[in-house]
Amino acid sequence: MYWRFRRHRLAVVCTFIVVFFYIVALFSETISPLDPNKVSNLYKYAPPQAIEFLDKDGNFSFRPYVLGFKSSRNPETLRITYVPDPTKRFPVRFFVPGEKYMFWGLWPSDIHVIGLGPDAPANTPFHLLGTDRLGRDMLSRIVYGARISLSIGLIGVTLSLVFGILLGGVSGYYGGWIDAVIQRIIEFIRSLPTIPVWMALAAAMPPKWPPDYVYLGITIILSLLGWTGLARVVRGRFLALREEDFVLAARLSNCSEPRIIFRHMVPSFASHIIASITLAVPGMILSETSLSFLGLGLRPPVISWGVLLQEAQNIQTVALFPWLLIPGAAVILIVLAFSFVGDGLRDAADPYGR
């Protein structure tokens, strides 16, 4: 299966993308250059700064640097515009001490993968993806947003996998009226229009809940509605495998029921399940994003991609500050990457594909 997956080039590339994103989510504190909640009055809506290697004379400098900003107020619109100032050069350093943070809330540290280092004067802008309306660093916010958005995908899918395998397995293995009841429930859940149900469930959550409760609540809501697809897949596999000759052979040689299920049936569809999970994760991420985008899911100060996109909900953003839409690009990238990995896994798991 591994070799067959290897042949699916796009899926392999996307696997690296997914892994990269999860590493980012895991080490957000270190990877983000700045504190995502630090407000800066000097640089509101600052555009992304480019990392440059050539100075204005065309000389190559091995150490990349960023240019500072010259800010001026447009007399007509009263908007502050930022123009790169070639006279202010700040070299970019890697693994440098910067702002202090608690890594995973446990260990104090101040090392950042990328930053200007302690030599740069205070209030030097370093916003590779620009800033938002409060002057907060977008790159750091996206990195922290990845942690929430991606973990919701994983936890949500894990929960729905538990529901799905349990209910789908019972449904497929025992059949009969249990099967009928579970299938009717699945059909009912599937027939509910998702967004109104999310809205209702999200509205049912007390607004006074602390952010981490809301986070958990949203995850549970998403997985309560998301298990049906997996349950169907599991049930279908159980139904098909139950009739296989090798399962009958196992039964005839006195194999116990758990042994038949876990030794003969589950391995036959484990790869299939893994592929389905991979395809279900982006659904979860998208659900969280859309919920938060609608203002029903996570709320500031929690940072998730949906929350970030919520701030980019107006025409002003699209016209003047397009870098606020970058979280959307991150969503698209991770969802596509997951889908291709899932496709690759599914093809690799399909015993009939060649």
Q: CB 260 → other proteins: shortest distance, Å?
A: 10
CB nearer other proteins, residue 196 or residue 258: 258
Residue number with CB closer to other proteins (195 or 248): 248
**Token reading at 59:** 């000389």
- Least distance (Å) between residue 249 CB and other proteins: 6
Phi, psi of 237 (to 5 degrees): -65, -40
- Minimum distance between the CB of residue 181 and other proteins, rounded to whole angstroms? 13
Residues with Cβ within 8 Å of residue 82, at least 6 apart in sequence = 43, 46, 47, 69, 70, 71
Question: Residue 127 or 272: which CB sits closer to other proteins?
Answer: 272
For residues 188, 190, 196, 198, the Cα torsion angle rounded to the nearest 10 degrees is: 110
CB burial of 12-24 (b: ≥16 within 10 Å; e: otherwise) equals eebbebbeebbeb
Q: Which is nearer to other proteins, 187 or 244 (CB)?
A: 244
- Answer for the pair 180, 250: CB distance below 8 angstroms, yes or no: no
CB of 188 to other proteins, least distance (A): 16
CA distance linking residue 315 with residue 131, whole number of Å: 17
Q: Within its chain, how far is the Cα of 278 from the centroid? A: 12
Which of 255, 325 has the CB closer to other proteins?
255
83/248 with CB nearer other proteins: 248
Rounded least distance, CB 184 to other proteins, Å: 11
Locate 274 and state its tokens: 């893994």
CB of 246 to other proteins, least distance (A): 4
Residue 9 in tokens: 């080039």
Burial zone of 299 (CB within 10 Å; 0-12 exposed, 13-18 middle, 19+ buried): middle
Q: Quick check: 136 and 36 in contact, CB under 8 A?
A: yes
In whole angstroms, the minimum distance from the beta carbon of 170 to other proteins comes to: 19
CB of 259 to other proteins, least distance (A): 7
Q: Distance between CA 73 and CA 237 in Å, rounded?
A: 65
Helix axes 211-242, 176-191, angle to 10 degrees: 140
Q: Which of residues 141 and 346 has its CB atom nearest to other proteins in the complex?
A: 346
Helices (H), 175-314: 176-191, 194-204, 211-242, 245-252, 257-259, 266-293, 305-310
Closer to other proteins by Cβ: residue 109 or 271? 271
Least CB distance from residue 233 to other proteins, whole Å? 18
Q: What pairs with residue 81 in β-bridges?
A: 72
Interface with other proteins (CB under 8 A):
244-246, 248-256, 259, 264, 267-268, 351
Residue 71, strand partner residues: 82
In this structure, what token pair is assigned to residue 339?
């889908």
Which residue's CB is nearer to other proteins, number 25 or number 265? Answer: 265
